[in-house]
Amino acid sequence: MNPSVLRTPETCFDKLPDFPWAPSYITVQHPEHGPLRLHYLDVGPADGPVVLMLHGEPTWCFLYRHMIHALSRQGLRCIAPDLIGFGRSDKLARRRDYSYAAHVGWIVDLVTGLDLREITLVCQDWGGPIGLSVLARDPARFAAVVAANTLLPTCEAPPKGIPDWPGDIVTQWVAATATAEDLPVGDTVAAVCVSPLPDAVRAAYDAPFPEPRYKAGPLEFPSLIPIRADMPGTAENRATWRLLEAWEKPFVTAFSDSDPSTAAWAEVFRQRIPGARGRSHPVIAGAGHFLQEEQGPALAKVVAQLVEQLR
């Protein structure tokens, strides 16, 4: 195997709580390192309405397990990939081999490779910028969006952005990871939850990263956030916003009540996107940044209700 590409041993995933599903894989490409294996879950009836669930930093599809249980039981087909560098997907050993555009391209490859259509996109954290960029490339494949604790920054003043972007939380996170050589993934997830994480759950978030050398993806992700107008991703996000400002299909925000890092973005989505107007936008109580982990059934209910409206 290419020494610049790492693959987490399967034994690392032997003791995942409440996570019974078999892995699926597709092959995507890196311009320098060639083929990469991208992992995804495909749970529920093959002919059911498609729900595409995209995780962010520093999690993986394990984050969506509560929602997958609930939605697949209701006849929905749940597609939950691991971004390259995360979960069971291959990991590039060098931070410089990751880019915002590459992450978008790999999820485009998943969507087109599986020929997903009439998709309800569920996106949180980095799943928002990536997923909404994928939607902007091929909007005909998407039927609706549920945005949860996410953002789409363009380094523009309100009402196109939020006041004082990027703010202290984002700035400090970018600075803390810029030169770091390790990241306590499970502890990072636990730190932004409002309830304690069981030890087995914390260990499951650590499972994809048995050594620091596997963590280039999560270490580099914060540095890819467009916090200046001249950064890669800013122009792309502005192009995505131009598409979203004409998006009239359903768009629902379902942010949690305890996530100061993203809370202000909910109003930006609601004001700028036509498909969000006149809709109910619930606030999920009792959750921090990773509301899928803490209140997955509540978020699944929002998704199921929206899919039912599409039928």
| CA angle (123 as vertex; 120, 129 as ends), nearest 5 | 115
Catalytic residue among 125, 138, 187, 257: 125
Instruction: Answer yes or no: 259 catalytic.
Output: yes
pLDDT at 212: 97
pLDDT at 156: 96
What are the CA-CA distances from residue 273 to residues 52, 152, 192 (Å)? 20, 12, 28
Q: Tell me the C-alpha distance between 277 and 55, whole Å.
A: 25
Q: Does 45 sit behind a cis peptide bond, omega within 30 degrees of 0 on the bond before it?
A: no
Q: Tell me the C-alpha distance between 98 and 161, whole Å.
A: 26
pLDDT at 3: 79
Full set of structural domains in the chain with CATH: 5-310 (3.40.50.1820)
Amino acid identity for residue 26 in this structure = I
The pLDDT averaged over each successive group of 10 residues in the chain (311 residues) is 90 97 97 96 98 98 98 98 98 96 98 98 98 98 98 96 94 95 97 97 98 98 95 96 98 98 97 97 98 98 97 86
pLDDT at 208: 98
What are the CA-CA distances from residue 7 to residues 71, 161, 183, 199 (Å)? 30, 38, 18, 24
Global pTM value: 0.97
pLDDT at 2: 80
